[in-house]
Amino acid sequence: MSVLLDIIDGVREDLHARQQLLSLEELQERVKTVAPALDAWAALGGDHAARDDLKVIAEVKRRSPSKGQLAGIADPAALATLYQEGGASIISVLTEERRFSGSLADLDAVRAAVSIPVLRKDFTCDPYMIWEARAHGADLVLLIVAALSDEELRSYLALTHELGMNAVVETHTAEEIARAVAVDAKIIGINVRNLKTLDVDRGVFAALAGGIPSGNIENGPIVVAESGVRDVADVEHYTAHGAHAILVGEALVKDATPRERITEFKATGAQAISTR
């Protein structure tokens, strides 16, 4: 069994427990009381004219299956505030509990602290989780192509749009990119971490990014490089090969000055964009 499938088994168990406490109908009523979702597509440079700099999706991430404990993060809201001050366009919040030590409480805290879009980073495997994300103020969800059938991918993406949200549609292979393009995904992530071994191969991004066409939707999809950002050299590499945004977790939560690091990454990306 791949690591992904093992994680999703746990996610489904935890989801079932939450569903026993709050029905879908009750959750949908809660959504009616939440402020409308912020426009994450625009925040990432949805208008082609706004794609002249690199966008940063900064992640609140305590641990990972590959590295174990990364950071304690006693105050996720304070960290997210530093991210926003550094120039992050979106804050990503891990809510998976078993492998990442995240929670919906973290999402609530971050949502209350920042004015930019927030991504609920979890292993979406049921429409309930999309409604749940919106009820907790998320503006985006993560949809992992490898974890979903074509029918699920299309219907989950439609639901996010129905709720005024966006989705980062995560891919790992050329075949998965083709599936994302087929459902007109507006934001396509390329994760360079192997789902079976958890190894990172940064060369995967360069090999795959060219397979995302620029004209299947207005202005073309936003391309997000996921995993493997350690320093400015990695930022330059991803940007040079077509990234409009980078998703960074470990490098920021382990840095004593995450605000300054984001500013540095953005400056590096802007320079790389100007020369590509």
Nearest CA to 266 among 242, 235, 226?
235
Give catalytic status of residue 61 as yes or no.
yes
User: Taking the mean position of all CA atoms in its chain, how far away is CA 159?
Assistant: 17
Residue of 132, 176, 226, 250 marked active site: 226
Contact present, 96 and 6 (Cβ < 8 Å): no
Among residues 55, 92, 96, 121, the one annotated as catalytic is 121
Q: Is 196 a catalytic residue?
A: no
The gap from C-alpha 37 to its chain's centroid, in whole angstroms, comes to 16
* Catalytic residue selected from 170, 186, 250, 266: 170
- Spell out the SS3 assignment of the chain: CCHHHHHHHHHHHHHHHHHHHCCHHHHHHHHCCCCCCCCHHHHCCCCHHHCCCCEEEEEECCEECCCEECCCCCCHHHHHHHHHHHCCCEEEEECCCCCCCCCHHHHHHHHHHCCCCEEEECCCCCHHHHHHHHHCCCCEEEEEHHHCCHHHHHHHHHHHHHCCCEEEEEECCHHHHHHHHHCCCCEEEEECECCCCCCECCHHHHHHHCCCCCCCCCCCCEEEEECCCCCHHHHHHHHHCCCCEEEECHHHHCCCCHHHHHHHHHHHHHHHHHHC
- Residue 56 has φ and ψ, to the nearest 5°, of -115, 125
2 as an active site residue: the answer is: no
Which entry of 64, 176, 191, 250 is annotated as an active-site residue?
Answer: 191
Q: Which of 261, 213, 274 is nearest to 59 (CA)?
A: 261
Q: Which of 92, 227, 250, 266 is catalytic?
A: 227
Active site residues: 59, 61, 121, 170, 191, 226-227
